[in-house]
Amino acid sequence: MDNPRWGRAAAGRLASAQQRLQRAKRRSKNRDRKRETMAARHRKIANQRKDFHHKQARDLVARYDLLVVEDLQIANMLRRAKPVADPDNPRQYVANRARAKSGLSRSISDAGWGRFISILRAKAEEAGRAWIEVDPPHTSDRCEKCGHAAPENRVTQAEFCCAACGHGPIQADEHAARNLLRAGLALHAQAA
């Protein structure tokens, strides 16, 4: 099932509630009510996201005996892009795609990857399922046929085509999932 994007869906309502809160007089009863409204809206989004995570995790644990996930450093993925000084112009900065990075960070936060992984891990351990975390380097740009790993293999964000053997074009996320599964099965065989 696709990510419902609860935060993005409620962004307009959150923004209008934030504006009303900002306009209210400080230390007034009205401002306290507006603050409660704002907190209730954030709580609703968090509850919807948590409910979705629990349902998806329960479904995955019920269907599979082995669960393989990438060992992502989510906190590092959420950090803002560092400014890069322009060597030619003092007190100027080179474009570093910070706006695109902030949009990606917002989407990652809205999906709640970290919480989902922790819920999934807990449910897998509770059900006695095998849980394996795979290092993420080259899981999305390594060819499953010849093993060639290069950034050029990802033609677009959604398409994979091996530059060495010509395998593809295929859907990139499905290809990366097969690479993850293969790495997970290899780690599982080593542990057994």
Q: What is the pLDDT of residues 116-145, one digit of tens each?
A: 999 999 999 999 999 999 998 888 888 888
Q: Of 120, 136, 157, which Cα lies nearest the Cα of 77?
A: 136
Domain boundaries, position 173: 137-192
Asked if residue 188 belongs to a domain, the reply is yes
Interhelix angle 11-23/29-63, nearest 10 degrees: 160
Q: What is the pLDDT of residue 107?
A: 87
Asked if residue 179 belongs to a domain, the reply is yes
Asked if residue 103 belongs to a domain, the reply is no
Q: What is the mean pLDDT of residues 66-80?
A: 89
Asked if residue 51 belongs to a domain, the reply is no
Asked if residue 189 belongs to a domain, the reply is yes
Asked if residue 144 belongs to a domain, the reply is yes
Q: At a CB cut-off of 8 Å and minimum separation 6, what does 160 contact?
A: 140, 141, 153, 154, 168, 169, 170, 171, 172, 175, 176
pLDDT at 184 over 70: yes
Asked if residue 191 belongs to a domain, the reply is yes
At residue 69, what is the residue type? V
Q: Per the structure, how many domains does the chain have? A: 1
Q: What is the mean pLDDT of residues 54-64?
A: 96
Contact call for residues 188 and 151 (beta carbons, < 8 A) = no
Asked if residue 97 belongs to a domain, the reply is no
